[in-house]
Amino acid sequence: MRNHYNGLKTAALFGLIWALLLGMGALIGGGRYIWLFALFGVGMTAYSYWNSDKLAIKAMKAYPVTEQEQPAMYRIVRDLSAQANQPMPRLYVSPTEAPNAFATGRNPKNAAVCCTEGILRLLDERELRGVLGHELMHVYNRDILTGSIAAAMAGVISSVASMAFWFGGDRERGGNPIAMLLMALLAPFAAMIIQMAISRTREYDADEDGAKLTGDPLALASALRKLELGTQQAPLAPSPQLQNASHMMIANPFRAQDISRMMSTHPPMAERIARLEQMAYGHDIR
């Protein structure tokens, strides 16, 4: 069992987003149309999940690398994959100075791990091992599926709220127009907050499980310290493509002023580092 119960937290957050969706269904048409939007959301989830590796790699303009080009990446990932008894993913490098890394793919057999040129220059091999262990655990924990489902449910809620705003819901049954307006305005915002919270819990899990895989929590903690400073010095400019891929990255790639803590897909670096240090020194991280 994970000491900080992030699996339970994720399940609770999914429960909240489902409760929000069902509450909207009760306001709109007595729930008669909710399955149409749910079907659309499931379709979008399936497409994003099946193509997640291609979409993220394209957003970062990454290119595949050989073992001759990146021997350290290959050596580390091959060793960690074998240790986890999992297939080795494809390796990519993104031509950007912003230091970051991410893993994507619908399952371990169809996974890809990408490092930016900036992170490869910033970290030493021990720290890079900590980062790659974190990213591999996102794949092994099926976090891509979790993120796709959360994004799809948030999208369904936004679509239903938009329908309620433009068509007014079920006026024939005397729907409350004030309640409909509040739902249309607040439900998408609430869904997005819950989606971000789910993403943050998965980051904590990847930190803990990646540190267990490498056996070196302090290496990841050291890498996160460097990444916190590095992403501030060389942030990525927000764009729709990068915003859709940012939750996959080990560090928030945008400037702190571009995004509030509530809306961040990543927990604060100080908290992540503190948890890893507590792991290293044998303290409870609940």
Instruction: Give the mean pLDDT of 42-56.
Output: 71
Would you place residue 38 in the very low, low, confident or very high pLDDT band (cuts 50, 70, 90)?
Answer: low
- pLDDT for 4 equals 47
> 3-state DSSP call for residue 91?
strand
In a domain, 1, yes or no: no
Query: Which residue among 117, 125, 135, 172 is the active-site one?
Result: 135
**Residue among 230, 208, 229 at smallest CA distance from 116:** 230
Q: Which domain holds residue 138?
A: 6-280
Residue 131 within any structural domain of the chain: yes
Return the pLDDT at 262.
Answer: 45
pLDDT (tens digit, 9 = 90+) per residue, 198-209? 778 889 999 999
Mean pLDDT of 35-49: 65
Does residue 69 carry a catalytic annotation?
A: no
Give 160-178 pLDDT, tens digit per residue. Answer: 676 666 655 554 444 556 6
Q: What is the pTM of this model?
A: 0.77
What gap in Å lies between CA 253 and CA 235, rounded to an integer?
Answer: 6
Asked whether residue 248 is assigned to any structural domain, the reply reads yes
Q: Is 286 domain-assigned?
A: no
Distance between alpha carbon 79 and the CA centroid of its chain, in Å?
Answer: 25
More confident residue, 148 or 251: 251
Q: State the chain's mean pLDDT as an integer.
A: 79
Task: Please determine, for residue 56, whether its predicted confidence score (pLDDT) is greater than 90.
Answer: no
285 belongs to a structural domain: no
Residue at token pair 């915002």? 189
Number of domains present in the structure of the chain = 1
Q: What is the pLDDT of residue 258?
A: 47
Judged against a pLDDT cut of 70, whether residue 125 lies above it is answered with yes
What CA dihedral angle connects 185, 188, 190 and 196, to 10 degrees? -150
Judge whether 126 lies within some domain: yes
Q: Are strands 90-94 and 63-64 parallel, antiparallel or unpaired?
A: antiparallel
Q: Is residue 78 part of a domain?
A: yes
249 secondary structure, DSSP code: B
Report the alpha-carbon angle 151-156-159, nearest 5. Answer: 125
User: Bigger pLDDT: 274 or 150?
Assistant: 274
Written as six digits, the tokens of 194 are 């819950």
Q: Is pLDDT of 272 > 80?
A: yes
